Amino acid sequence: MKTIVSLVLLTLAFVSPEANAEQQTKEAKRIIALAPHIVENLFQIGAGDRVIGTTDHSDYPEAAKSIPRIGNYARLNIEDILAADPDLIIAWKTGNPTDDLERLAKFGIRIVYSDPHSPEDVAGEFRRFGELTGLEQQAEQQAIGYLAKLNKIKQQYQDKPWVSAFYELWPRPLTSIAANAWPQHLINICRANNPFVQSKTDYPQINLEQVVLKNPQLIIQPRSSARSITDEINWKQWSDIPAVKNNAFIHPDENQLHRMTSRALNELTLLCQQIDEIRERHYKQAGL
């Protein structure tokens, strides 16, 4: 095995400029996809069978579970990646170890980056992946359908009054969202007003006293099967908070909502409906 890998390393270290230029234009057939959302979006456009390696937690669709794992968010297995002989690596701009990616780039492997921030960016991901794989037509169909669904949700809630919402991304340490965070864009669509939106970082750590002072009308606590609800904050201790007083808690599926894929819109639809119910209840109680 070490001999094979050594030969691969030697070969890649001396990739000619001409070969590298050709590599930049050919359709990718052997793809390493370094994040769950990348895998899911490749399957969405019909390129899932080209993914020969991925990272932990790439579990959708079902076929993704059988793709070999070559690392996680903290570390990539360089030898396994080189031995797989990919013609393309699609990396997550903010979710992969940069030092490992820099090492891989030195071997002449083509690396492109996925960097979605807003819901609209998912359509751009489809189109970009379509260009990389020669599946432009399928990708364009997915992008158009995705944007149509997104715009429908936006139009449904664009004139709704705002409701104050604390987003409990993680309980310990208590972490929320702000600015350009992916979930922030989603709750904006539902017209949920985050009192910490102006924080200096996208995922600020918040203390309990700050939340109490903000008096949110609802609290959003994303959940997944991997997270124990015993870790969550016991908000009942602060019964004066409107969200606690009115039992206004929402628990979206974070595995869907937090992934930059078309499935996020399914969970967003449900989230906006639940926020709207709490909004109507609040304004009715206030006599508005």
Question: What was the pLDDT predicted at 285?
Answer: 77
Question: What was the pLDDT predicted at 4?
Answer: 44
Residue 136, phi then psi, degrees to nearest 5: -60, -40
Dist CA 73 CA 55 (whole Å)? 7
- Arithmetic mean of pLDDT over the chain: 90
Question: What was the pLDDT predicted at 85?
Answer: 96
Please name the residue that has the structure tokens 């600015």: 179
57 vs 66, 99, 106, 149, CA distance in Å? 11, 21, 27, 26
2-143 is classed in which CATH architecture? 3-Layer(aba) Sandwich (3.40)
* Cα 276 off chain centre by: 24
Dist CA 221 CA 233 (whole Å)? 10
Give the pTM. Answer: 0.88
Dist CA 287 CA 26 (whole Å)? 63
Residues 6 or more apart from 13 whose CB is under 8 A from it? 106, 107, 108
Give the residue extent of every domain in the chain.
Answer: 2-143, 160-285
Confirm whether 2-143 and 160-285 share one CATH topology. yes
Closest CA to 235 of 253, 248, 222: 248
State the amino acid at position 237 in one-letter form.
Q
> What topology is assigned to 160-285 in CATH?
Rossmann fold (3.40.50)
Residue 113, phi then psi, degrees to nearest 5: -120, 135
Question: What was the pLDDT predicted at 21?
Answer: 44
- Low-confidence stretches of the chain (pLDDT < 50) are 1-22
Dist CA 83 CA 64 (whole Å)? 20
Dist CA 35 CA 58 (whole Å)? 7
State the amino acid at position 5 in one-letter form.
V
Give the pLDDT confidence of 214-251 residue by residue, as tens digits: 999 999 999 986 655 667 788 999 999 999 999 999 99
Look at phi and psi of residue 160 and say left if phi exceeds 0, alpha if psi is from -120 to 50, else beta: beta
Question: What was the pLDDT predicted at 15?
Answer: 43
Q: Across the strands, what pairs with 239?
A: none
DSSP β-ladder status, 218-220 and 31-33: unpaired
Angle between helices 120-133 and 136-157 (to 10 degrees): 180
Question: What was the pLDDT predicted at 151?
Answer: 98
Q: Across the strands, what pairs with 175?
A: 170, 205
Structure tokens at 235: 């908000």
Contacts 24+ apart (CB under 8 A), 113-116: 114/35, 114/37, 114/38, 114/41, 114/90, 114/260, 116/37, 116/182, 116/260
